[in-house]
Amino acid sequence: MMGSVVSACGATCSAVKRGQLRSALIAVSAVLCFTGTSMAVGSADPLPTPQNDPFYTPPSGWDSQAPGTILNSRSVEVASMGPQAQDADAWQLLYRTTDTDGNPMATVTTVLRPRTGQVKGLITYQNAEDASAPQCAPSFVLRQGAPDQYDASLDLITIEQMLSSGHAISVPDWEGPKGSVFSPKQPGYAALDGVRAAEGFAPLGLSGTDTPVAAMGYSGGSLPTRWAAQVQPTYAPELRLVGVTMGGWTAPISRYLESLDGGPFSGFLPSLLPGMMRADPRLAAAFNKYLTPAGQALIAAGDSKCMTPNVAQHAFLRMDDYLTIPFLQLFEQVQASFADLDFGPVAPTAPLFLYNAVNDEIVKIAPTDQAVAQWCASGAQITYTRDQLSEHVSLAISATPAALRWIDDRLAGQGVPEGCSTRTVPSMSLGGA
């Protein structure tokens, strides 16, 4: 496994050197090389993938249960950055939630708590899965002994910091059983029903609906976090959502996807598009109409891999080479689908802590600036930090302590000033929030 990751990294990094900016080299190296070094010791028996694991199959009559109802549970070990598992008690909960169309759906959340001490509250953490294949779900890649753990390395760092700060954590499979990446509403429903399941799971030691809850997500994890914040007032009003943190915000989705095409991170496209097509028949019909045979093969192959190997294999891919019409022309035909994915003008009611790298080479900052201005105009409470020195991957690590300090204050009942504030700091790693 390590050898294949290093080989993939070497090929991609060599490609990046051919005329690309230094920031892109840093980011690709970090995603593919650094994360590849975080391999936990595998178990003697390979873990069954979600599509081959009976735990993921709900029992008869599950669809008549209320959202958030626990359908099954099991104790698991969650990996860490070292050879040992996380020093935490951990379980997985199969629970009933709701899909984009309002139909019952069953998915899994991985819940953790420190082994000692009282927990401060609950964080629902939406990871940046950025892939459509079932074996890329957090409930699989976070487990000790999972083969694709390099995709979860940044998440393992964040989870370890949350645990050391005394938080209970829920990490939902927000894409659901169909790998419906970047779908409207469903990611938020899955996150919130994961909170409901966690609050009702006695071993976590929470206080039911009195538990203060925060939501957190970065990059691809910002989309489900944003949906959780937006639908919570109407979908789960009983939950005490006291704060939401998001960084590396992937909005609007159409501009994000367009910016990837032909660049060093174009491998995100075959990783994301299969799940998006499953989630939206309009999108599937448009792509299937114009994909060439090579394009169909590209999508099928991307649907079988996690993000890291897709990005490693397909740097500088141009979708025009796989379509019978230009990529941007196809996008013009599916704007209704993308409009359903993007943030609305009505801001979440929970306080927000947002942060982005000014020079982010994967997710441009201009749309985030615009979204902040729009939500502020609608009365949101936003603390927004713009980081001048970081790029996409480094900010995911360096900003976490500031984000967790902000969450700690919210879980402790401290209020936030009315209105919005925006700061541009040299680096959030220096304590600037």
The answer to whether 306 touches 136, Cβ cutoff 8 Å, is yes
* pLDDT beyond 80 at 127: yes
Helix 281-290 vs helix 268-279: angle between axes, to the nearest 10 degrees?
A: 130
Residues 92 and 139 sit within 8 Å (Cβ to Cβ): yes
- Rounded CA separation 118/223 (Å): 30
CATH number belonging to domain 50-251+343-430? 3.40.50.1820
List 420's β-bridge partners, or say none: 382
Tell me the one-letter amino acid at 334: V
Residue reference for tokens 């669809």 = 63
pTM for the model stands at: 0.90
> Would the CATH topology of 2-37+252-340 be identical to that of 50-251+343-430?
no
- Comparing 363 with 28, the larger pLDDT belongs to 363
**Residue 165 or 98, more confident:** 98
Residue found under tokens 């990611």: 187
Confidence check: pLDDT of 92 > 60: yes
Query: Backbone phi, then psi, for 138, in 5-degree steps?
Result: -60, -35
- Tens digit of each residue's pLDDT (9 = 90 or more) over 376-403: 999 999 999 999 999 999 999 999 999 9
Tokens coding 160: 């370890």
pLDDT band at 433 (very low <50, low <70, confident <90, very high): low
Give the domain 2-37+252-340 fold. Answer: 434 Repressor (Amino-terminal Domain) (1.10.260)
Q: What is the mean pLDDT of residues 56-60?
A: 98
Please check whether residue 348 is in contact with residue 374, taking contact to mean a CB–CB distance below 8 angstroms: no
Tokens of 98: 């709701």
Q: Given this model, what pLDDT does residue 117 score?
A: 86
Question: Is the predicted pLDDT of residue 65 greater than 80, yes or no?
Answer: yes
Cα 403 from Cα 122, distance rounded (Å): 14
CB burial of 197-214 (b: ≥16 within 10 Å; e: otherwise) equals: bbbbbeebebeeeebbbb
**CA 404 from chain center: how many Å?**
17
Nearest-angstrom CA–CA distance, 90 and 112 = 4
Contact 94, 106 (CB under 8 A): yes
pLDDT, tens digit, for every residue of 187-213? 999 999 999 999 999 999 999 999 999
Q: pLDDT tens across 325-347, in order?
A: 999 999 899 988 888 888 777 78
The domain segmentation of the chain, as residue ranges, is 2-37+252-340, 50-251+343-430
Reported confidence tier of residue 22, pLDDT bands at 50, 70, 90: very low
Distance, C-alpha 112 to centroid of its chain = 17
pLDDT, averaged across the chain:
88
Question: Considering the chain, what percentage of its residues have pLDDT values greater than 70?
Answer: 88
Task: Please answer whether residues 110 and 124 qualify as being in contact, where contact means their C-beta atoms are separated by less than 8 angstroms.
Answer: no
The alpha carbon of residue 78 and the mean position of all alpha carbons in its chain are separated, in whole angstroms, by 17
Q: How far apart are CA 430 and CA 402, in angstroms?
A: 10
